[in-house]
Amino acid sequence: MREGKFIDKNINRWQEYMDETNDPDIQAERFVNLVDDLSFAKTYYPQSKTTQFINGLAAKQFQKLYQNQKRRYDRLFTFWKYELPLLFSKYQKVYLFTFSFFLVCVIVAVFSSMHDQTFIRSILGDSYVDMTEENINKGDPFGVYKDGNEFGMFINIAANNIRVSLMTFIFGLFAGIGSLYLLFSNGLMLGTFQYMFFAKGLGWKSVLVIWIHGTLEISAIVIAGTAGMILGNSFLFPGTFSRIESLKNGAKDAVKVVIGLIPFFLLAAFFEGFVTRHTEMPVWLSSIILVLSASIIIWYFTIYPLLLKRSGLKVIKGKIIFPTDA
């Protein structure tokens, strides 16, 4: 193809590429097309000014892509280090309420199990209780965690945990009552489940085994309940906003909280699929995992948000605003 014809064929597209766009998909498409054009031009017109022009245009597109990708990484860094903890500092009272409510449900379940032996089966189901008692009689009380392939368990558990968290969050639309109901149900199951092992003399052993994954998993469910209550409260108590506007703002905050929980659910699923099955691991090792897991939750969702809040730091539209910038 003659150079003139090559230019006529592509000049309109190149001129379009000179216009600015912030869409990363469009930028990527332009860069790929320019690389193809440059490859063709270098083959047939290596010393041409056309080749130099395309090369410069491709270089500019690459720089835009790189800057856009860098901003994406910076945005993720800002979200995890500042935005999510600061958001949580705003809702510490809601978090305290959901945690307290869940704890009361656990205590109610323990008390009920102590005074009514049929309560355990009514909550956990006959099949699960029978299976657990059979495993206890075999001398392997936590054998349920050894069934199945590790990776398969990880995938299924992660999917189920994320499903439960999404349900707990979405049910907040029902004035928060739906989220409280799911916290109530999970609290009853946890209290009953834990009492069953203490009643069999396996209480502390169950803590060292089950809470390897349970620390992160249960904490994340409670925090998902917090997201649901944020959603419900934004509708019930709109303040100076219209009810719809308040709900939109509450939904944005609640969604960020739920997104922030995904890594914790994945890590909990990893522990349950790959680590909890090793029920005879040394006490010191399981204790370290428990302490580290609890410390991460307490630090990231309670202490660190309060420290950031006291520092006066703010995040507005993904941009960090330090007190000295105000």
71 φ/ψ angles, rounded to the nearest 5 degrees? -65, -35
What single letter denotes the amino acid at residue 252?
A: K
Q: How far apart are CA 123 and CA 184, in angstroms?
A: 12
Number of domains in the chain: 2
Residue 45 resides in a domain: yes
Could you tell me if 200 and 130 lie in one domain? yes
User: 249-286: buried (b, 16+ CB within 10 Å) or exposed (e) per residue?
Assistant: ebbebbebbbebbeebbbbbbbbbbebbbebeeeeeeb
Could you tell me if 245 and 159 lie in one domain? yes
The answer to whether the CB of 196 falls within 8 A of the CB of 141 is no
The answer to whether the CB of 199 falls within 8 A of the CB of 137 is no
Could you tell me if 97 and 57 lie in one domain? no
pLDDT at 69: 54
Could you tell me if 161 and 245 lie in one domain? yes
From 51, 73, 95, give the residue that closes a domain: 73
Could you tell me if 66 and 91 lie in one domain? no
Task: Write the DSSP assignment of 193-242 as a string of letters.
Answer: HHHHHHHTT-HHHHHHHHHHHHHHHHHHHHHHHHHHHHHHHHHH--TTS-
Could you tell me if 117 and 53 lie in one domain? no
Range of the domain at 7: 3-73
Residue 224 resides in a domain: yes
Q: What is the pLDDT along the chain (326 residues), one digit of tens a residue?
A: 777 787 888 888 888 878 777 666 677 777 778 878 877 788 777 788 888 888 888 777 767 666 655 455 566 777 888 888 988 898 999 999 999 999 999 999 999 999 998 999 999 999 989 998 898 888 888 877 777 778 778 888 888 888 888 888 888 888 789 999 999 999 999 999 999 999 989 988 999 889 999 999 999 999 999 999 999 999 888 888 888 898 888 888 998 898 889 899 899 989 888 888 888 889 899 999 999 999 999 999 999 999 988 887 776 655 666 665 54
pLDDT at 35: 78
Residue 78 resides in a domain: no
Could you tell me if 93 and 13 lie in one domain? no
pLDDT at 320: 64
Could you tell me if 60 and 189 lie in one domain? no
From 73, 97, 112, give the residue that closes a domain: 73
Taken in order 13, 18, 20, 26, is the CA torsion positive or negative? positive
Residue 147 resides in a domain: yes
> Would you state the structure tokens that stand for residue 326, as one six-digit string?
């105000």
From 48, 73, 98, give the residue that closes a domain: 73
Could you tell me if 150 and 225 lie in one domain? yes
Q: How far apart are CA 132 and CA 176, in angstroms?
A: 34
Residue 79 resides in a domain: no
User: 33-66: buried (b, 16+ CB within 10 Å) or exposed (e) per residue?
Assistant: bbeebbeebeeebeeeebbeebeebbeebeebee
Place of tokens 């063709």: 40
